[in-house]
Structures are given as structure tokens and as C-alpha cells.
Amino acid sequence: MSSGGRTKIVRLLQDGEAGSEVTVKGWVRTKRGNKNVAFIALNDGSTIDNIQIVADVAAFDEALLRQITTGACIRATGRLVESPASGQRVEIQAAELEVYGTADPESYPLQKKGHSLEFLREIAHLRPRTNTFGAVLRIRHAMAYAIHKYFNDKGFVYLHTPIVTASDCEGAGEMFTVTTFNLDNLPKTEAGKVDYAQDFFGKHCNLTVSGQLEGELGAMALSEIYTFGPTFRAENSNTPRHLAEFWMVEPEMAFYEIEDNMDLAEDFIKSLVRYALENCMSDLQFLAKMYDPELIDRLKFVVENDFVRLDYTEGIDILMKSGHRFEFPVSWGLDLQSEHERYLVEKHFKKPVILTNYPKEIKAFYMKQNDDGKTVRAMDVLFPKIGEIIGGSQREESYEKLAARIAELGIPEKDVWWYMDTRRFGSAPHSGFGLGFERLLLFVTGMANIRDVIPFPRTPKSAEF
């Protein structure tokens, strides 16, 4: 029960026994009262709820009580008693109070309640102390745990794919170069190009945009793997759904065809949302109350209903016949924008949609080619309020077809020889997908901006600490 010489507030509020002697430690949310009695609301991050500490003013040094202001960190020891106040089962009758750290009310940025999310983004170092970010960060943790649990229960192996990689053929976006060169004095080849042969790794390296290609190497031996780690994209997309550093979950499965892949993706998301409903209810209720009254209904709806499965070509048809005016006009071959995805999901079907069989031109080289010569076995899972939450595909397992596609796209064999080896030796049908972890969190928390579901967001022109 006790950790760090205290009991966590979540435990006391749930099943602390009235009459017992307890110690709590945490940060003061508010202090109010009169000349006889002080009420301190204390939070230690273990739950959205505060515990109330009641202090008899006469029993404490006046200077000590004055230091107990919003934001200060304190210890309180005393008797847990049934609370006469409504909305809380128990409170603490303080016998001892100790101040660990004061927070000057003149300068503490969270002195008042009700700051805007924009303002809190500017003080991301302190925002975990707010109710909102406490709730979001606990849910983020719960979802990370649920992801590992889901795959572990199914016998998938967690494969750690590299963050620094020389592979740049995914085509998923612009990359960040990793180098130890002195940028003011770059070694050059005779042709005047930067000579990466002299760099740390002896070649041009970058931060990974996806663990998939290495994930496939694992799947072709362990049969079912997943990766879960940070990925990086240097695209200059300043939208509420893009980060330059985000986390991705990428399962990769030998012997799965596209239908198996869709079944897994749907079951996976439903199971994560169910986990949130079963384990994060007080945080969800808080977020629903503050930001998004329909949040919990929307989560239940996703768990209880089948996703629509639709061909890209049918999707384009629906969009063209919709009569809706889109910013990007619709025609076959279009790389769908978020406005199109959201139209299908929110207006037309009112359900999550899995879109398949996209034109090969707008998808990556490794996707399995259909017999029509035009489309590939891609699948994107599209969600209300978010658009694309998952991107994946069945992979091309034929060496000949893959080699032909690589040649067509001008990808040098020397860059992908190791990837091609999986098709050269013991190739097998296989599939996989990538779930954007922060996109999932946008859905589960109901937050509207992706900067508010990651502790330390990295976006263009923004990377404090």
C-alpha cells in the first residue's frame, strides 16, 4: 500500500479505512477556509480526484499554513475520517503538515483554474499538474499498457526496430538526417556533394519514419511481431493531427491476407477502446464533462458496431455523387484528404470505415499488387473526427513483382537488398499495419489537438526542452 512513505490518494479514496492513520504527499490544488479551519485539496496524480485535508488553524504554525498555497508540494499525516461533505467518501484530519516546496502565488502560472489549452501548450513543463493533462497522461499510459497486453495475450513478439536507420525507401514522408558532421564544415566528394562516407555510420542515416520494413524481417522468422516506438516525420504539416515526433504501433504478421489484417485492426482498436471504458472511466468522465459531452457514447458506439469495409473506388464514387463541395476536388486516383475521409465516416456511413484497394501510384512500393494492374491491397482505417488512424496493407511477397515495382520507381537495389532477401528466401504471404498512437489518443480522450495528447510535442518551429 505505501510507496515513498505515503499512501496514494487513489487508494485512500477507493478503499481507505475511516479511523486509520495515513500519510499523503502531493501538490495543493486549492486552499480555502476561515480563521478557524483550512481545507486543502491535494492531488498526487494517481487519480483525477483530490483528497480533502482539514486543518485546525489553531493547531499549526501560522507561517507554515501561509506557505500552503496552490501548487505547493506538501506532506499531510493524520486520521482518515468519513467526510461530511458531499462528493467524497473520506477526508483527512491533519495532525502534521510539512511543506516540501512552496509555489509563490505571484509567479506560479497555474495559480488560477481554467487556462486555455493554447496557454497550457506554452507551459508544457507544468501542464501535467492540471486535471486535463493528468487525465490525458493516465489514459495514455493505460493505452500503452493495453497495447502490450493485447499483443502479448495473442502471442505476438515485441520487436525493437531501430530509430536510426539507413533505410529511406518507405516514402512515408520527409526525414531528419542523423549526423555527427560539423555543419559549418561539411566534407565534400569530388563531385561537390556531402561525403557521407566520412560520417559516423559511413553512409547517410536518418530518424526512422516507420519500423515496418525491419518489422517484416522479424515477422518472416517469428511469424507475428509488433513494434511500438517513436517515429519521425519532417513534413511541414502544422495541423491538429500531425506531429514531427509521434509513436506508432506496427504489427506485422506472416500468413495474414488483407482480410485477416482488417479483422486484426478492427479487433485491436475495439479492444483498446473497451479497455479505456473499463479502466479509465473517471478520467473519461472528466474529459467528457470539460470538452466533449458525446465522448463516452462515441467510444461505446465504436466498440459495439462493425466497421464498414469499402473499396477505394466505391469510396470515390460516393464522394463524387455526394454533391458536397470539397476543397480538393474528387476524382479516381486522388490521395484522399482528411475532408474526404471525414465525409465518408461522419456524414455518409456514420461509422468507422476501412478503405481498401487504393491506386498503386499513391501507395508505397511494398504493397501487394492486385490483378487489375492498377490497385494495391492497401487498407486505411478512417475514424470520426480524426480521419486516418491506421494505414496498412498486405505486402507483395513475390520477388519478381516487387523487383519490378522497385525498378519502376527507381529505388536502387543496393538500398533494399536486405528487404528483398525475405522474398528471395522463404517468402510468405504477410500483412501489417501502423496505428498512430496519438491519433488513437485523440479519439479516446476526445481532445481536438494532437499536441495535447503527448507530453512534449514536437512540431515545426517548436521543441522546447
Residues that bind Mg ion (CB under 5 A): 391
Pairwise CA distance, residues 210 & 203, whole Å: 19
**25, 127, 242, 405: which one contacts ligand 4AD (CB under 6 A)?**
242
Least distance in angstroms from the C-beta of 280 to ligand 4AD = 21
Q: Does 216 bind ligand 4AD (CB under 6 A)?
A: no
Pairwise CA distance, residues 201 & 195, whole Å: 12
Query: What is the grid cell recorded at 278?
Result: 473499463
Q: Does 172 bind ligand 4AD (CB under 6 A)?
A: yes
Stretch that binds ligand 4AD, among 29-37, 50-58, 59-67, 435-443 (CB under 6 A): 435-443
**16, 134, 218, 391: which one contacts ligand 4AD (CB under 6 A)?**
391
Stretch that binds ligand 4AD, among 7-15, 20-28, 243-251, 307-315 (CB under 6 A): 243-251
Q: Does 248 bind ligand 4AD (CB under 6 A)?
A: yes
Pairwise CA distance, residues 357 & 373, whole Å: 11
Query: What is the grid cell recorded at 390?
Result: 491506421
Q: Are 365 and 171 in contact (CB under 8 A)?
A: yes
Given ligand 4AD, Mg ion, none, residue 248, with its beta carbon under 5 to 8 Å by kind, binds: ligand 4AD
**156, 228, 433, 443: which one contacts ligand 4AD (CB under 6 A)?**
433
Q: Does 416 bind ligand 4AD (CB under 6 A)?
A: no
**71, 434, 446, 457: which one contacts ligand 4AD (CB under 6 A)?**
434
Of the pair 204, 385, the CB lying nearest Mg ion is at: 385
Query: What are the residue ranges of helices labelled H in 305-397?
Result: 312-321, 338-342
Burial (CB count within 10 angstroms: exposed 0-12, middle 13-18, buried 19+), residue 66: exposed
Pairwise CA distance, residues 118 & 345, whole Å: 28
Instruction: Tell me how far CA of residue 260 lies from CA of 32, 232, 394, in angstroms.
Output: 58, 28, 9
Pairing of strands 308-311, 353-359: parallel
Stretch that binds ligand 4AD, among 8-16, 151-159, 400-408, 426-434 (CB under 6 A): 426-434
Q: Does 377 bind ligand 4AD (CB under 6 A)?
A: no
Q: Does 360 bind ligand 4AD (CB under 6 A)?
A: no
Stretch that binds ligand 4AD, among 31-39, 217-225, 246-254, 279-287 (CB under 6 A): 246-254
Of the pair 71, 391, the CB lying nearest Mg ion is at: 391
Given Mg ion, ligand 4AD, none, residue 150, with its beta carbon under 5 to 8 Å by kind, binds: none
Secondary structure (3-state) at 140 = helix
Pairwise CA distance, residues 428 & 326, whole Å: 41
Least distance in angstroms from the C-beta of 215 to ligand 4AD = 7
Q: Does 356 bind ligand 4AD (CB under 6 A)?
A: no
Of the pair 41, 243, the CB lying nearest ligand 4AD is at: 243
Of the pair 315, 391, the CB lying nearest Mg ion is at: 391
Please work out the total of residues on this chain that contact ligand 4AD, with binding judged by CB under 6 A.
21
Burial state string for 332-368 with b = 16 or more CB within 10 A and e = fewer than 16: eebebeeebbbbbbeebbebbbbbbbbbbeebbbbbb
Q: Rule CB under 6 A: which of 129-148 touch ligand 4AD?
A: none
Phi, psi of 210 (to 5 degrees): -175, 145
Please, which residues have CB within 8 angstroms of residue 99's CB and are 6 or more apart in sequence?
64, 67, 68, 72, 73, 74
Q: Does 233 bind ligand 4AD (CB under 6 A)?
A: yes
**At 112, which helix (H) or strand (E)?**
none
Phi, psi of 77 (to 5 degrees): -120, 140
Pairwise CA distance, residues 438 & 442, whole Å: 6
Of the pair 195, 346, the CB lying nearest ligand 4AD is at: 346
Pairwise CA distance, residues 8 & 46, whole Å: 6
Q: Are 94 and 52 in contact (CB under 8 A)?
A: no
Q: Does 439 bind ligand 4AD (CB under 6 A)?
A: yes
Given ligand 4AD, Mg ion, none, residue 432, with its beta carbon under 5 to 8 Å by kind, binds: ligand 4AD
Of 105, 93, 96, nearest in space to 51 by CA: 93
The residues of the shown chain that bind ligand 4AD, judged by CB under 6 A, are 170, 172, 210, 212, 233, 242-243, 246, 248, 250, 388-392, 432-434, 436, 438-439
